[in-house]
A and B are shown apart, each in its own frame.
Chain A
Amino acid sequence: MAGTGKAHLRSAGAVLRAEDLVVEFPLRGGKRVHAVSGVDFDILPGETLALVGESGSGKSTTAKAIVQLEKPTAGHVHFEGDDLTVLRSGALRQVRSRLQMVFQDPIASLNPWREVLDIVAEPLQIWRRGTRREQLDAARAAMRSVGLDPETMGGRRASELSGGQCQRVSIARALMLEPRVVICDEPVAALDVSVQAQILNLLGDLKAQLDLSMLFISHDLAVVRMVSDRVMVMYLGKICEVASAASLYEAPSHPYTTLLLGSIPRLGQAPAAPGYGLGTEIPSPVDPPSGCRFRTRCPLATDLCTKEEPVLKEIAKDHYVACHHRNQRRPDADQR
């Protein structure tokens, strides 16, 4: 699993671009946790990029490093012409109004004692935009746009809401300042299936209406398939594969992507796990494997994978893979 490749970055027009992003956490005894080790990606206006990986792959750390909740050890984050990694706190605050986040646990994201309408209106209040009446009107409109009736729900306290309703409130709040980019960190992982579908559809609708760009983080390739234009697969702090959603699911080309896809339980079908990676677990990010980071679980691994880190290469239109032994694409897939 390489990461140093930049082949997948588009030349211009990206609203958000991360380059050589590295996040390490020092441990006692001089060791370091290599959470994110040189990740590059960009997001175009109106595009949803999904970031997929197992726990410990560095997806959430990447999200936090983008909004500078976690200061990157190295690298740059360009957003609308600013490099966020060098901005001072005042300027960063300004930028963050256009770069919003929705978190995994909807209930913990809201103050249980506050009334919903106040929660949604608060971003405007903080930024002193408009009169109180205008703020509340905007909050009501935002509530309607996420499918909550402001008349009945506006006066309720967050503690009275269900998980799905809380996530709608979080989304409404994130949209109040008209952000360019919304980062959703596992927004449906804590929700029931029936409610999860509602939120996924809502995010899709809002994205289309508001021309939002989204970074959508999830461990679940099935969920990601429904919402994303482009998918980026991460493993142990590095990128394995980046491709348009259509291409990735059509012809997954990194052995890790194949493993992930094969492991998803399917309705009524016998489990189709590819049978490797068995008994082996994700290695510690304190001491990641040399060369390709996936080699300890990979059925194709050779000496080359130990010695040399693979670099992202284009194998088909808008399909990039970092693997020395990348799966051969079927010819018909390349012609599409």
Chain B
Amino acid sequence: MKRLSRRSTPALGHRPPEQTAPDGRPSGTSAPLLVVDDLATEFATPGGPVLALRNAGLVLPQGRTLGVVGESGSGKSVLVRSIMRLLRSRGVRHEGSVRFDGEELLTASNARMRKIWGDRIAMVFQDPMTTLHPNHRIGFQITEALREHLPLSPDEAQDRALRLLESVAIPEPARRLRQYPHEMSGGMRQRIVIAIAIACAPDLLLADEPTTALDVTVQAQVLDLLSLHQSRRGMAMILVSHDLAVVSSRTDELAVMYSGQIVESGPTAAVLDAPLMPYTAALLRSTPTVDKAPGTRLHTIPGEPLPPERRVTGCRFASRCRYAVERCLTTEPPLAATPGGRGYRCHLPLDGTAAQEALAANLARGRTAAGLAVTETDVVRGA
């Protein structure tokens, strides 16, 4: 049995020497609001340390929106929670840096973080059922943040809360303030959570799957509401979702995560139009849409996502990638950057000829370097 509080582990220290600056960093201009540099987060578990997030880098200027997409276990929630410094227990270790408005958050004291939470950085979580306290009235829960950070009298706070509820399109706000969370539907509760998050006009809003628990008709409304307040208040936002379609139309920049890493990033439209990383391309093709003909066979990604704690020597996607060559198994692809502000971790980016040559060679052999069977029909189907 390994000890829970194992402090130094080789896993965290292991970084590719080619590590470069975070992708997508705009040169010059004013200092970005949030700069995450080479962030790693490790959890101590009874089964040994789990490196849930590694080499994460991102830059978010004021008022911009970043989408973070990935499957479960890809580290997207760990990323936003690490930025928010919500993972604070003896079993959690961070490495790297999170600079918010010039201030390092990873080493900030708890007292300092209490000043920042709600006031400067706020968060909307996935499940509105469990985010709100079941035993307090809505009014109390909204004014709590206001009274913590602003010198308001009870009446002023109440008045502010009323206007906040109006701004998130809640009918009969005065009555709602006296209600308890259980008296409301999921969509209504998520609006309340958003009202609480924007109460102190934060500079950065972290929204972790804010609509996943909601019905599709309500999802659109809640996303519209987030976009509205984001643009109106000039907030920067990180929108986390497993659904590429959700983030595709509502974000400026996109980061695609796989197995604890950001594997591709860049301007959203550019990434979706011409992904460089085979995983992004495969994810796009396997997403069901209403635009494809009924009965269309979906492209699939063979195998299962690689758990982030699994150690591999090469690329973490290689075992599922039909382009994989020997180098993908032996050498971890460094973070590469393009002039267009895009970043990717891949030896064979899809815009180059090397990828097509590798695929042709794999097809000729019938399998990839990782032993994955590839056939012509798969490729035609997925194209």
Contacts and interface: CB of A to CB of B under 8 A. Distances in A.
B380 interface: no
A221 B292 CA distance: 12
B295 interface: yes
Given A194-B71, A263-B220, A266-B249, A246 B171 contact: no
A164 B304 contact: yes
B56 to A, nearest CB: 20
A225 B215 contact: no
Nearest to B282: A194
Given A192-B72, A222-B288, A268-B272, A246 B216 contact: no
A192 B305 contact: yes
Contacts of B289: 222, 266-267
A204 B286 contact: no
Nearest to B305: A192
Contacts of B301: 194, 197-198
A260 B216 contact: yes
Given A245-B294, A265-B248, A281-B185, A197 B286 contact: yes
The 4 closest A-B pairs by CB, nearest first: A194-B301, A197-B298, A265-B245, A192-B71
Given A194-B71, A267-B245, A261 B290 contact: yes
Given A194-B283, A197-B299, A271 B223 contact: yes
A277 B244 CA distance: 24
A84 B244 CA distance: 43
Contacts of A164: 304
A144 to B, nearest CB: 15
A29 interface: no
A318 interface: no
Given A162-B304, A195-B71, 20 more contacts: A55-B186, A192-B71, A193-B287, A197-B288, A200-B288, A204-B297, A219-B215, A222-B288, A225-B294, A226-B292, A226-B295, A226-B298, A246-B294, A260-B216, A264-B245, A264-B290, A266-B245, A268-B248, A273-B220, A278-B169
Given A194-B282, A197-B301, A201-B298, A271 B220 contact: yes
Which range contains the number of A residues in contact with the other chain? Answer: 35 or more
A193 B217 contact: no
Nearest to A246: B294
A153 interface: no
Given A194-B71, A223-B288, A265 B187 contact: no
B65 to A, nearest CB: 14
Contacts of A262: 220
Q: Is the interface of B mostly helix, strand, loop or mixed?
A: loop
Contacts of A196: 286, 288
Which range contains the number of B residues in contact with the other chain? Answer: 35 or more
B243 interface: yes
27 contacts: A192-B72, A192-B242, A193-B243, A193-B244, A194-B286, A194-B300, A197-B301, A198-B302, A201-B297, A220-B216, A222-B288, A225-B294, A226-B296, A228-B294, A249-B290, A259-B217, A260-B217, A265-B245, A267-B244, A267-B272, A268-B248, A268-B269, A268-B272, A277-B217, A278-B169, A279-B171, A281-B187
Nearest to A163: B72
A194 B281 CA distance: 11
B291 interface: yes
Interface in A161-180: 162, 164-165
A263 B71 contact: no
Interface string B128-148: 000000000000000000000
A225 B288 contact: yes
A152 interface: no
Interface string A217-260: 00111110111100000000000000001100100000000011
Nearest to A279: B169
Contacts of A54: 215-217
Interface of A: 54-55, 162, 164-165, 192-198, 200-201, 204, 219-223, 225-228, 245-246, 249, 259-271, 273, 277-279, 281-282
Contacts of A226: 288, 292, 294-298
Contacts of A266: 245, 248-249, 289-291
Contacts of B370: none
Nearest to B381: A201
Contacts of B243: 193, 265
B221 interface: yes
B349 to A, nearest CB: 20
Most chain A CB inside 10 Å of its own CB: which residue of B187, B220, B269: B220
Interface in B294-351: 294-302, 304-305
Nearest to B298: A197
A278 to B, nearest CB: 6
B286 A55 contact: no
A245 B292 CA distance: 12
Contacts of B223: 265, 271
Contacts of A204: 295, 297
Contacts of A271: 220, 223-224, 249-250
A281 B128 CA distance: 16
B284 interface: yes
Given A222-B288, A225-B288, A225-B290, A198 B272 contact: no
B169 A193 contact: no
B177 interface: no
A323 to B, nearest CB: 17
Contacts of B215: 54-55, 219, 282
